Amino acid sequence: MQAQVPNVIFLSKKVTLKTFYCRGDFETDQEWDDFRQAMGNPAWANYPKFGTLRGRKENEDELDKLIQDWTMNLDAHEVMHVLQANGVAAGVVQNAKDLCEDPQLKERQFLWAAKHKEMGESLSLAQPSLLSKTPSRLYRPPPLMGEHNEYVRKEILGLP
């Protein structure tokens, strides 16, 4: 069971050992209607107990199970695209592996590969903005714990 958040319904999807969450906000009647249409307007979506935001919140556990049944044979990105195509605000919460493989983040050079002294080849967050006249680059991998202590102590602080 997930945390209850006022005015928000979370759409969950469990596939083997991995759970995906596609968040869809439907506070208004129009958003709920759009959501129902995205699912193909199943009969249960027209039950009076789901007809208002209050009713959906009061029956959130049951609603979550019904939505999970709908998403069971869909990929989380498919759910997101179906919802978005029907005007429902939705997005997939990605894990670290998903982010590393995300085509848009690759195109934007969001992650830099670096050879770390202990971890080997690893990814680091790049600069958040791409500047055409002053492009940034990775000069060295992240330091080890305490790697520069002696330099800082002696050269910068002038301590023995």
Asked if 88 and 113 sit in the same domain, the reply is no
Asked if 16 and 55 sit in the same domain, the reply is yes
Asked if 79 and 43 sit in the same domain, the reply is yes
105: left (phi over 0), alpha (psi -120 to 50) or beta: alpha
Of 93, 113, 142, the domain-final residue: 93
Enclosing domain of residue 41: 9-93
pLDDT value for 48 = 95
pLDDT per residue over 32-66, tens digit each?
Answer: 899 999 999 999 999 999 988 888 888 888 988 88
Distance CA 94, CA 5 (A): 20
pLDDT per residue over 79-128, tens digit each?
Answer: 888 988 998 888 777 788 888 888 989 998 889 888 889 989 988 888 88
4 domain-assigned: no
Checking 6-10 for CB contacts under 8 A at 24+ apart, the result is: 6/57, 7/53, 7/57, 9/56, 9/57, 9/60, 9/63, 9/64, 9/67, 10/64
Asked if 16 and 47 sit in the same domain, the reply is yes
DSSP-derived secondary structure letter, 129: S
Based on the structure, what is the number of domains in the chain? 2
Instruction: Report DSSP letters for 29-44, one per residue.
Output: HHHHHHHHHHTT--GG
Residue with the bigger pLDDT between 12 and 35: it is 35
Using the predicted structure, report yes or no on whether residue 157 has a pLDDT greater than 80: yes
Using the predicted structure, report yes or no on whether residue 16 has a pLDDT greater than 50: no
Asked if 109 and 152 sit in the same domain, the reply is yes
